[in-house]
Structure 1
Amino acid sequence: MSKKLLLGIIVVLLVTNIASLLFWNQEEKVVISENENAEINSREPVASIAGEEISYQDWMEGLRTAHGEKRLKTMIDRKVVNHLAEEENIEIDEKIIERDIAFLYTMQGVMTEEESAVEEARWRDDIIYRYQLEELLTRDTSIPEEELQNYYNRYGDQYNFSSSVQLSHILVNNFETAEKIVAELEEGASFHLLAREYSLDEETKNNGGYMGSIYTSSQFLPNSYETIALEMEDHSYSEPFRAENGVAVIYLHKKLPSIEFTYEEIKPYMESELALQEIGQTLTADPLWEQVEVEWIYGE
Structure 2
Amino acid sequence: MTFMQQKGHLKRKWLWNIIFGLVIINCLTLAFLAKQSFSLKEASEAAAFVNGNDNVVATVGDTTITRKALLQELEKMYGHEVSRSLVNQEVVRQMAKKYKITVSDEAVEREWNMIKTMYTRSPMLQTSSEEAVKQQIKSSLLLEELLVKDVTIPEEEMESYYEQNKETFALDEAFHLSHIVVETKKEAEAVIKDLKGGSSFSSLAMEVSTDELTANQGGDLGFLSAKTEMYPSAYLEEAQGMKNASWSDAISVDGHYVVLYLHEKVEGVTYSYKEVKDQIRRQLALEHMEGTADPSIFWEEVGVEWNQTSAQ
TM-score by length of 1: 0.69
Q: Give the distance between the partners of 1:43 and 1:170, measured in 2 at CA.
A: 42
Paired residues of 1:42 and 1:57 also in contact (CA < 8 A) = no
Give the aligned partner of residue 99 of structure 1: 110
Give the aligned partner of residue 293 of structure 2: 283
Paired residues of 2:49 and 2:55 also in contact (CA < 8 A) = no
Match among 245, 256, 264 for residue 254 of structure 1: 264
Higher mean C-alpha deviation, range 58-67 or range 155-164: 58-67
Q: Give the distance between the partners of 2:233 and 2:104, measured in 1 at CA.
A: 34
Query: What is the deviation of 1:139?
Result: 0.5
* Cα deviation digits, residues 235-271 of structure 1 (max 9, x gap): 4322335657565321123322224222222121222
Higher mean C-alpha deviation, range 62-71 or range 52-61: 52-61
**Does residue 82 of the first structure (1) align with residue 101 of the second (2)?**
no
SS in 2 for 1:280: coil
Q: Give the distance between the partners of 1:209 and 1:44, measured in 2 at CA.
A: 35
SS in 1 for 2:129: helix
* Cα deviation digits, residues 57-84 of structure 1 (max 9, x gap): 7776665566445433322221221223
SS in 2 for 1:279: coil
Give the aligned partner of residue 216 of structure 1: 226
**Does residue 30 of the first structure (1) align with residue 49 of the second (2)?**
yes
Higher mean C-alpha deviation, range 288-297 or range 197-206: 197-206
Match among 144, 157, 166 for residue 156 of structure 1: 166
Give the aligned partner of residue 109 of structure 1: 121
Q: Give the distance between the partners of 1:218 and 1:281, measured in 2 at CA.
A: 38
Query: What is the deviation of 1:123?
Result: 0.8
RMSD after superposition? 4.2
Query: What is the deviation of 1:141?
Result: 1.5
Q: Give the distance between the partners of 1:53 and 1:194, measured in 2 at CA.
A: 36
Q: Pairwise mapping of residues 149-188 of structure 1 onto structure 2 (< 5 A)?
A: 149-172=159-182, 175-188=185-198
Higher mean C-alpha deviation, range 201-210 or range 187-196: 201-210
Q: Show structure 2 runs of 5+ residues with no match.
A: 1-31
Q: Give the distance between the partners of 1:79 and 1:117, measured in 2 at CA.
A: 24
Paired residues of 1:44 and 1:56 also in contact (CA < 8 A) = yes
Query: What is the deviation of 1:98?
Result: 2.2
Paired residues of 1:99 and 1:259 also in contact (CA < 8 A) = no
Paired residues of 1:110 and 1:253 also in contact (CA < 8 A) = no
Q: Give the distance between the partners of 1:44 and 1:193, measured in 2 at CA.
A: 31
SS in 2 for 1:30: helix
Letter in 2 for 1:104: I
Letter in 2 for 1:109: R
Q: Give the distance between the partners of 2:66 and 2:186, measured in 1 at CA.
A: 60
TM-score by length of 2: 0.67
Paired residues of 2:225 and 2:236 also in contact (CA < 8 A) = no
Query: What is the deviation of 1:136?
Result: 0.7
**Does residue 269 of the first structure (1) align with residue 288 of the second (2)?**
no
Q: Give the distance between the partners of 1:280 and 1:103, measured in 2 at CA.
A: 27
Match among 143, 148, 161 for residue 153 of structure 2: 143
Identity %: 27
* Cα deviation digits, residues 142-190 of structure 1 (max 9, x gap): 2333433343333332233212112222345665443222111222334
Q: Pairwise mapping of residues 237-248 of structure 1 onto structure 2 (< 5 A)?
A: 237-241=247-251, 245=255, 247-248=257-258
Q: Give the distance between the partners of 1:138 and 1:25, measured in 2 at CA.
A: 46
Q: Give the distance between the partners of 2:212 and 2:75, measured in 1 at CA.
A: 48
Residues 282 and 273 (structure 1), Cα distance of their counterparts in 2 relative to 1, 3 Å cut: farther
Paired residues of 1:172 and 1:199 also in contact (CA < 8 A) = yes
Query: What is the deviation of 1:140?
Result: 0.7
Aligned residues: 272
SS in 1 for 2:288: helix
Greater share of residues in helix? 2
